[in-house]
Amino acid sequence: MPHGYKFVIADDHPLFRGALKQAIGGVAGPGTILEAGDFDAAKKIMAENDDVDLVLLDLSMPGASGLSGLISLRGVHVGMPLIVVSAHDDPETIRRALELGASGFISKSASMEDIREAVETVLAGGIAAPSGVDLGVEQDAEISDLIRRLQSLTPQQTKVLGMLAEGLLNKQIAFELNVSEATIKAHVSAILQKLGVDSRTQAVIQLSKIGAESIQAAG
């Protein structure tokens, strides 16, 4: 494997970040590993480093609301491979994470070897899911429809939706993305249409339905 990979480890537990660093150190060689202890820090690192090879993201960090956090980060850098690392490793969460753009899923109970293998698979352009888990198909028709609608958003619309979820106003989003307010209004209209809702608030409520309940309920 070539040396010099750049990784982001986003997890609020320093001990687990240390374990992940140790696991991927064997893959990366003398590369760079950036660490984030909360969602905002992860977002900032991704926005400031467009040469990151892989992001390892915990879904239960402060500031992240389940899989909606994944959607927001996908909007920051659509092409940046991202592996979800979570203790909530039920087939439903794994399947939804992959459907919403994650390149892989690692259970927090995975061995060092499994973690390395997943990282190597994704770096090679593959999709890494835990072996021996039947991901099944979505049983919840409403969630299935919502995932399909979210998949239809463009990268910029995904980014705008993530910012709406953070409570930003159109003019704040326009400033952040360095575009006109009219452009953001057009994006918001398109998002509402694609999600089949009438207001920004409803769009954010729809987004919060994705996996947040099960993840938060499980702690």
* CB-CB neighbours of 43 under 10 Å: 22
The pLDDT-based confidence of 3 (bands split at 50, 70, 90) is low
Domains of the chain, each with CATH number or no CATH: 6-123 (3.40.50.2300), 141-217 (3.40.50.2300)
The answer, yes or no, to whether residue 217 has pLDDT greater than 50, is no
Cα distances from 169 to residues 34, 181, 188, 200, 214, in angstroms, run 30, 10, 11, 10, 29
The pLDDT-based confidence of 28 (bands split at 50, 70, 90) is low
Predicted local confidence at residue 73, as pLDDT: 84
36 by DSSP, 3-state: which? strand
d(CA 2, CA 6): 12
Predicted confidence (pLDDT) per residue in 168-202, tens digit: 999 999 998 999 999 999 999 999 999 999 999 99
